[in-house]
Structure 1
């Protein structure tokens, strides 16, 4: 009995990792296209009876920043991409307090259980153009809940093998991809042509809060380049706040570093 439970737990853990790597592959494609992915999730308990109410078992998700959701789909909405181990990908968009379940709001992508990340990215592009009518409200079914988890695991394995980093956890892979994407956005912003000098009204406390976040990034970012960029940008803003507008072209360490990264 103990052996059987240990084997079941290993399968749950293996499925969680495999689903996580699939979420990383999709999130990486979306990040490459400039979309602000904020987090991913993975759930590998294929034998969880509480999922029966939804006709599901394992699942994963790709979620986006609040600012992106508000701009793309409207304020007061929870929206994102869900992968269901029975029915594949769907987009969900639920107004807060509407009393609708995720499954009731889902627009299903179709195209198989584990489509290529590029196809998922294309589906999200369609959703951004017309969230109400993209995909289908008819849910497809590609496998039975709780059935044959080993075959599903084998099907998902390709998304880990293709990464070239099978020994890394999916969480650490995602964090590296996200900080790389953020670094690219920062470099593009700092080195953009024809930039204007903008006047932004900030309270002293708001400026200190912003500098505090940059200091956090300097200490927490996994890559040296991101830490160095945060350090230089924090220094530039602090010195400009002290020396005034005329010091704009004097305190520009972040811009110099960004130009070196191009």
Structure 2
């Protein structure tokens, strides 16, 4: 199940969405089973959620009985309770990652109209478990899917996330928009930004933009306030992006 969630997350990342994490859960005892025996979720960053509903938490949720839905959880003002709402994809238990991505696109256009309020039912908890496992297994990488063969879905997702964000950073740096912006910034804010870039370098997966984070931090540190020439003198990250872009162009048929 985790690899199925990772495959969907990979497609969402490829579409430019800010996927922050994913989680998979299976019931290990009869006492844990309610409406679902297995379920999982894909979370987005706060800006994505706020763009849909500023006052609610929202995420993609998959259940082993009803498939995908977009869930919204809203705290009830002045109370200790919350209200939940779900819009169901209703496209089968295991729709393709592309179909799920299309559903998310519809949610972004109109979260109250995408999908259906009615929850579908494709199987009962613990029913046809072997058949479901066989279908889910098709999403787990085999020996031919290097470098992901025999790895956990968490690592697979982290590497996909790193690749997606590295591509986005390279695309931004090599976009050709080289206008100089005289942006007011406090020294403490610049110092904090360098710490954030150091943090990004530290936690980025092998496929992530760790080298670009390091270079951007160095570029900002070496530039002189008020001296626009230093922008051209210290631009390692931009130069690397341009070089990699040239390399990809040469490698293209």
Measured against the shorter chain, the TM-score band is 0.7 to 0.9
Does structure 2 conserve the Cα–Cα contact (< 8 Å) formed by 1:63 and 1:81? yes
Matched residue of 1:59: which SS? Answer: strand
Distance 1:30 1:94 in 2: 21
Does 1:249 pair with 2:232? yes
Question: What residue in structure 2 maps to residue 192 of structure 1?
Answer: 175
Does 1:81 pair with 2:60? yes
Distance 1:148 1:166 in 2: 27
Matched residue of 1:159: which SS? Answer: coil
Question: What residue in structure 2 maps to residue 32 of structure 1?
Answer: 14
Gaps of 5+ in 1: 1-18
Deviations 1:1-36 (A, max 9, x none): xxxxxxxxxxxxxxxxxx111110000000001001
Deviations 1:189-226 (A, max 9, x none): 11113342223332222222211121122233222662
TM-score by length of 1: 0.84
- Once the 2 structures are TM-superposed, how far is the Cα of residue 169 of structure 1 from its aligned partner? 0.8
Distance 1:224 1:74 in 2: 32
Q: 1:156 aligns with which of 118, 136, 148?
A: 136
Question: What residue in structure 2 maps to residue 218 of structure 1?
Answer: 201
Does 1:124 pair with 2:94? no
Question: What residue in structure 1 maps to residue 249 of structure 2?
Answer: none
Distance 1:97 1:241 in 2: 50
Question: What residue in structure 1 maps to residue 49 of structure 2?
Answer: 69
Distance 2:82 2:39 in 1: 19
Distance 1:35 1:131 in 2: 16
Does structure 2 conserve the Cα–Cα contact (< 8 Å) formed by 1:25 and 1:117? yes
Gaps of 5+ in 2: 246-253
For this pair of structures, how many residues does the alignment match?
239
Distance 2:26 2:32 in 1: 13
Relative distance call for 1:197 and 1:97 in structure 2 (3 A) is farther
Distance 1:101 1:154 in 2: 35
Q: 2:24 aligns with which of 42, 45, 50?
A: 42
More helix by share: 1
TM-score by length of 2: 0.87
Distance 1:89 1:128 in 2: 16
Matched residue of 1:83: which SS? Answer: strand
Does structure 1 conserve the Cα–Cα contact (< 8 Å) formed by 2:25 and 2:38? yes
Matched residue of 2:120: which SS? Answer: coil
Question: What residue in structure 2 maps to residue 233 of structure 1?
Answer: 216
Question: What residue in structure 1 maps to residue 251 of structure 2?
Answer: none
Matched residue of 1:146: which SS? Answer: coil
* TM-align CA RMSD: 2.0
